């Protein structure tokens, strides 16, 4: 992952932690000026990187991603278990 993408991922995590409902694909598209598919990839990276991501769907069936713990303590990387 490039440094710029890592910065974008951290910015996305901050957005997801600071908004009560989290962030939607439309929010990501407008904030980062990216396509919908790129926004989907960003949410996949968010979910793969942080263990405390929850998803919810609103009445219009739009999905929102949110970090449960307050920022910045929520920015804990996933702990991979060692395979022995």
Structure tokens at 25: 């694909």
pLDDT tens, residue by residue, 27-66: 999 999 999 999 999 999 999 998 889 999 999 999 999 9
pLDDT band at 74 (very low <50, low <70, confident <90, very high): very low
């Amino acid at each position: 992952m490039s440094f710029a993408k890592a910065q974008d991922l951290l910015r996305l995590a901050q957005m997801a932690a600071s908004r009560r409902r989290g962030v939607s694909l439309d929010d990501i598209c407008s904030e980062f000026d990216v396509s919908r598919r790129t926004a989907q990839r960003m949410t996949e990276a968010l979910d793969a990187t942080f263990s405390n991501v929850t998803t919810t769907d609103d009445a219009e069936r739009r999905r929102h991603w949110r970090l449960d713990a307050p920022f910045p303590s929520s920015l804990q990387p996933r702990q991979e278990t060692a395979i022995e």
